[in-house]
Amino acid sequence: MELKVRLKQKADYSYSIVLGKNLFKKIAADLKNKPIANKYVIITDSNVKNIYGIDLLKTLRANNIEAQLIYFKAGEQSKNSKIKEQIENEMFKLLLGRDSAILALGGGVTGDLAGFIASTFLRGIPYIQIPTTLLAMVDSSIGGKTGINTGYGKNLIGTFYQPKKVYIDINMLSTLPESEFLNGLAEVIKHSIIKDKPLFKYLEKNREKILKKDKKALQYIIKISCEIKSSIVEKDETESNYRRILNFGHTFGHAIEKTSNYQVKHGFAVAQGMIYAAKLSKTNEKTKERIIKLIESYGLIKNIKLDKKMILHAMLQDKKTIKGKVNFVLINEIGKPYITNKIKTQQIEAVL
Ligand SMILES: NC(=O)c1ccc[n+]([C@@H]2O[C@H](COP(=O)([O-])OP(=O)(O)OC[C@H]3O[C@@H](n4cnc5c(N)ncnc54)[C@H](O)[C@@H]3O)[C@@H](O)[C@H]2O)c1
């Protein structure tokens, strides 16, 4: 005997990204006018709590919104199942139920962790992303990838779970340490290389303004980056194929991060990885030179001693490597990516 469970539900998970300055009052007004829950919990890390968390909590409460705050020790090492469970237990103690929602206030670590909690807490409650690092603004807060690290590797446990809204407050970048800012810029550069030649040219021409955190320039590059990321996610929400173009520079990048025992930060590893990927690409020499020059001009290349063999080994172990074939995102020209698994080991060794 065979019975069928018919599931035709196809909900609309669309959401908007609000980009502006000093947004806490707007967030409170929006939640007041169009609540997504009865109670809210801000999840943040120990740094962001002091800089912005308490302020957001006060603003919500001043608007008669029932809100709590839970924080964890800042840093990648908190993105694990132990901290997830601790936060969930705190949420139970605060009697947060299915009528609650999470406000993920922080960088990518907070967004990934809080988003993952939202997707599993009581089988799923809504959440809003309030990214505070450049990386989270242009990348991790959009697209609904949530998750945690395990002893076996990064981001191995997680879900696709879209936020209800994203609020990007560019004024928050004023307190961000320089290296964290550069870390996010690597992803902006990546977006330009895979999808947007005008953005690439803008990054070439406006380096000084961007590095000085000129508000107009930041607003522009963040807006375009968010448009690129969301347009890719719209076409392939669960990374079955097209979304993989976002991994430009990442196959090498992840291997560099791993080989350096995570001493090289993600953005810097991806920056180096983008140079290797450009060198492997079919694109012409002039374009390769432009890419290398741009990445170097933003101070993203550190003189790190890299062990070629270990990088190759790490690439073969990557979760996206299938049957020993490493998948690479390369470019025909700026804005025109392609995916291939036909690169030979000797070619990889030659660019390292
Ligand atoms: N979900 C996705 O699609 C996706 C995409 C890319 C990266 N990620 C994940 O993102 C994580 C990295 O995110 P990250 O680089 O934002 O790191 P992070 O969240 O650890 O933030 C970096 C540091 O900056 C501090 N900070 C954050 N905002 C600040 C501000 N405005 N002022 C001062 N200090 C501030 C934090 O406390 C932290 O110490 C990784 O775990 C990575 O796997 C996820």
Taking only the tens place, the pLDDT of each residue in 222-243 is 999 999 999 999 999 988 889 9
Report the amino acid identity of residue 91.
M
Ligand 1 in reach of 131 Cβ (< 6 A): no
Looking at residue 45, the DSSP 8-state letter turns out to be E
pLDDT beyond 90 at 35: yes
* Structure confidence at residue 325 as a pLDDT band (50, 70, 90): confident
pLDDT beyond 90 at 306: no
* Structure confidence at residue 194 as a pLDDT band (50, 70, 90): very high
Give the pLDDT score at 105. 99
**Is 85 noted as a catalytic residue in this protein?**
no
Contacts 24+ apart (CB under 8 A), 224-228: 224/191, 224/196, 224/199, 225/137, 225/138, 225/139, 225/187, 225/188, 225/191, 225/199, 226/17, 226/19, 226/137, 226/138, 226/142, 226/168, 228/191, 228/194, 228/195, 228/196, 228/199
pLDDT beyond 90 at 324: no
**Is 239 noted as a catalytic residue in this protein?**
yes
> What does the pLDDT average to over 175-184?
97
pLDDT beyond 80 at 73: yes
Active-site position among 79, 190, 195, 243: 243
Question: Which ligand 1 atom minimizes the distance to the CA of 110?
Answer: 19
Which range has the worst mean pLDDT, 62-76, 103-117, 166-180, 256-270?
256-270
Query: Which residue has its alpha carbon closest to ligand 1 atom 42?
Result: 108
pLDDT beyond 90 at 322: no
Give the pLDDT score at 246. 96
> What does the pLDDT average to over 16-35?
98
> What does the pLDDT average to over 13-41?
97
Question: Which ligand 1 atom minimizes the distance to the CA of 131?
Answer: 28
Residue found under tokens 């990442």: 250
Question: Which ligand 1 atom minimizes the distance to the CA of 143?
Answer: 3
Q: What is the pTM of this model?
A: 0.96
Which range has the worst mean pLDDT, 208-217, 262-271, 317-326, 331-340?
317-326
Query: Which residue has its alpha carbon closest to ligand 1 atom 37?
Result: 47
Give the pLDDT score at 302. 82
The rounded Å distance from CA 134 to ligand 1 centre is 8
The rounded Å distance from CA 303 to ligand 1 centre is 23
Query: Which residue has its alpha carbon closest to ligand 1 atom 18?
Result: 107
8 A C-beta contact, residue 294 and residue 200: yes
The rounded Å distance from CA 296 to ligand 1 centre is 22
Ligand 1 in reach of 78 Cβ (< 6 A): no
Percent share of the chain, pLDDT over 90:
85
Give the pLDDT score at 49. 98
